[in-house]
Amino acid sequence: MIFTIFKKELIDTLRDKRTMRTMLLIPLLVFPIMLTIFVNVSSSFEKKASEEKLKIGVWGDLGAKYWNQLNEMPNGLGKKELKSFEDSLALKKAIEEGEIELGLIVPKNEAELARTKQTIPLTWLFDASSVGRQERAESYMSYLTEKAETVRLKELGVDATKLHPLVPVYKNCASDKKMIGQLAGGILPYIFIAFGFIGCMYPAIDLFTGEKERGTIETLLTTPISRWQILVGKMLVIVSSGMLAATCALLGLFVSIEFLDIVHNEEILKIVHGILTPMFIISLFSLLLPLVVFFTGVMIPIAVYAKSFKEAQSIITPLNFVMVLPAMIGFFPGIELNAMTAAIPVVNIVLATKELISGTLSFGYYAISLGIMLLLATLAIVVSYKQFGKEARILN
Amino acid sequence: MIKVSHLRKEFELSRQQKKELQTTADKALAVDDLSFECQPGKVFSLLGPNGAGKTTTLRMLSTILTPTSGEIEIAGIDAIKYPQEARAKIGFLTGSTGLYARLTPLEIIDYFAALYQVPFKEKEERKKYLFDLLNMNDFLQKRIGKLSTGMKQKVSICRTMIHNPEVVIFDEPTSGLDVITAENIIQLIRDCRDQGKTVIFSSHIMSEVDLLCDELAIVHKGKLKYRGQMSDFRQNMEASNLTEEFIRIVQH
């Protein structure tokens, strides 16, 4: 009997254009579209930045020395055009007016400082509101510093290696898989929560509030089936919709990575392919399922309580933000799944998913997270059943 | 057969309802000590003005609502103790019933046949009989949302009768329908009576009651004001016509 209700409600739901849009189309297309736009915009910015010819103004009596060195600089450090200035005020004004992008001030006593082997302060002027100016100045400065150091060490007759007794060598012991999991793993649970919630929303409202509004619930209640059978049948459709929406979003993300050429690093692609094992997918869905059942259980009492589609939507939509907010936790590195975080609903799923990608998920915390979510999902079902049993709620 | 004795229904009032009704009472009494019997092969009419408690009574008979007190027997089954078994014997049709707009008539009928657990062979026979009788064959595959009111009403009738119920409950079935569409319902009620089914229908239109019913109960503010044979009602009325007599009884 539950299957009869499930089948009918599924057909009904799949024929609803609004539900289909939020359940299939949007989740499926959002990542390919979003990532295509992102990649195109960022690559066009990169291209523009690399092709941008920076105008550098140089001032100082001995500016010529640095002028030459800057001129000799390889174009790999960025294209540039040099311009000489008569005074520092004119140089500053030119930056303010956007005539030049960087300004270099060489001190008047530069020759004296060089002769006496003292530090020579080179002042760089730039407009910090323009992105990348300081970085460009820093890269030019390290070029000039290297040149100056070589000259001075030669004058002093010192071997450069003798000046640096300690050379730090930093080696990352974390696997690439762990790195990807910790740094980029937050996106996956976010997709789960955002699209799982949206996927449940319209079917929940349509199958309960909608049925009340259209006057079909009364007929259904006169048939010889129990209310819990009706509830379970409808609930299964809502859960399926949530799962389908989340799956479509994941599929969209996978298609984007696989076919849209957004990941150029072969190593990362290899790791992504390595992560996507059947066991990983099963574990992922075992985390997603209780989360979606929980969402469904939260939405049904609201949908049963509401008298109109609009009213249900106005209550459930703000709830979306409450649910999606903990999903942001996944974007912060350093927050790990432990005995405490495993007991916080939604947050536990976010962190468990992250650790699942990293391959660091411990079975104990996984079990606690799953247990907590299953408990909440059961509680949500009980509340839904009680609400659905109330005469005043189910008949408008 | 339907047997109702000392039926009572109280509703708890929400804060909003109390405000609307301008009352401080926690409960509202919708049906107060109602008793009557409906015999097979006869049409029993529940007549009353809006808000009299007709819909609440019929919803209790169809087990959608649980009575506060009293007893209901549907085709020999205690409907309060065994609501699911009682529902299997009932066909329920209201004027306000909606249909699933995204399904076709065929899908709806199959769905309800499955819910009533009608065996396959019987279902196919009933479908053929009802589709021919109601002249539905031309629009069986069209979505409900694209059908006219008359076509939808035919689907509702077919849905109500697919499991060949012993008891048929009609709650203001012609409300909002034009004369031609309403005629389908009136014919259905007559057919049910002729087939020996127990029929109860509620209405606030006296002419409709006069046309169809064998027995009559008039309710007002949840209380029974009159119960008897329609022929006796006609014979003993004090007013000049049926509508005026109905108003006289209600206001008395």
CATH of the domain at A77: 3.40.190.10
Residue B169 falls inside a structural domain: no
Is a pLDDT exceeding 70 seen at residue B75? yes
Residue A386 falls inside a structural domain: yes
Q: Identify the sign of the CA torsion A16, A22, A27, A31.
A: positive
- Single residue among B138, B164, B190 that ends a domain in this structure: B164
Does A371 lie in the same domain as A236? yes
Residue A140 falls inside a structural domain: yes
Residue where the block lists tokens 């309710």: B219
Does A104 lie in the same domain as A249? no
Would you give the end-to-end CA distance of chain B in angstroms?
31
Residue A46 falls inside a structural domain: no
Residue A265, phi-psi category: left (phi > 0), alpha (psi -120 to 50), beta (remainder):
beta
Is a pLDDT exceeding 80 seen at residue B177? no
A262 pLDDT band (50/70/90 cuts)?
low
Q: What is the pLDDT of residues A146-185, one digit of tens each?
A: 888 888 888 888 887 777 778 788 887 777 667 666 666 6
Three-state SS for chain A is CHHHHHHHHHHHHHCCHHHHHHHHHHHHHHHHHHHHHHHHHHHHHHHHHHHCCEEEEEECCCHHHHHHHHHHCCHHHCCEEEEECCCHHHHHHHHHCCCCCEEEECCCCHHHHHHCCCCCCCEEEECCCCCCHHHHHHHHHHHHHHHHHHHHHHHHCCCHHHHCCCCCCCCCCCCHHHHHHHHHCCHHHHHHHHHHHHHHHHHHHHHHHHHHHHCCHHHHHCCCCCHHHHHHHHHHHHHHHHHHHHHHHHHHHHHHHHHCCCCCCHHHHHHHHHHCCHHHHHHHHHHHHHHHHHHHHHHHHHHHHCCCHHHHHHHHHHHHHHHHHHHHHHHCCCCCCCCCHHHCCCHHHHHHHHHHHHCCCCHHHHHHHHHHHHHHHHHHHHHHHHHHHCHHHHCC
Q: What is the pLDDT of residues A266-278, one digit of tens each?
A: 766 777 777 777 8
Distance from CA of A338 to the nearest CA of B (A): 45
B8 pLDDT band (50/70/90 cuts)?
very high
Residue B250: CB atoms within 10 Å: 17
Residue where the block lists tokens 């009596």: A61
Residue B121 falls inside a structural domain: yes
Q: How many CB pairs under 8 A join A and B?
A: 71
Does B104 lie in the same domain as B85? no
Give A222's contacts in chain B (Cβ within 8 Å).
Answer: 62-64, 87, 90, 92
Q: Residue range A96-102: average pLDDT? A: 87
* Phi then psi dihedrals of residue A57, to 5 deg: -95, 135
Mean pLDDT of chain A: 83
Is a pLDDT exceeding 90 seen at residue A80? no
A205 pLDDT band (50/70/90 cuts)?
very high
Q: What is the pLDDT of residue A184?
A: 66
Q: What is the pLDDT of residues B93-128, one digit of tens each?
A: 887 778 899 999 999 999 999 999 999 999 999 999
Q: What is the pLDDT of residue A265?
A: 67
How far, in Å, are A191, A280, A376 from residue A361 at the CA level? 19, 11, 22
Residue where the block lists tokens 């082997």: A117
Q: Which of B66, B88, B102 sits opposite A12 (nearest CB)?
A: B102
Residue B175 falls inside a structural domain: no
Of A66-70, B221-225, B245-249, the range with the highest mean pLDDT is B221-225
Is a pLDDT exceeding 90 seen at residue B60? yes
Residue A75: CB atoms within 10 Å: 9
Q: Which domain holds residue B47?
A: 1-89+181-252
Does B186 lie in the same domain as B81? yes
How far, in Å, are A35, A193, B6, B185 from residue A253 at the CA level? 9, 15, 64, 55
Is a pLDDT exceeding 80 seen at residue A138? yes
Percent of chain A with pLDDT over 90: 7
Q: Give the total number of structural domains in chain A.
A: 2
Give A391's contacts in chain B (Cβ within 8 Å).
Answer: 64-66
Contact assessment for residue B86 and residue B74, using Cβ atoms and an 8 Å cutoff: yes
B90: contact with A, CB 8 A cutoff: yes
Give B88's contacts in chain A (Cβ within 8 Å).
Answer: 224
Q: What is the pLDDT of residues A19-31, one digit of tens each?
A: 788 778 887 887 7
Give B114's contacts in chain A (Cβ within 8 Å).
Answer: 4
Does B7 lie in the same domain as B85? yes
Distance from CA of B104 to the nearest CA of A (A): 10
Question: Could you tell me which of B78, B82, B179, B162 has the C-alpha nearest to residue B122?
Answer: B162
Q: Which domain holds residue A389?
A: 2-34+177-394
Is a pLDDT exceeding 80 seen at residue A196? yes
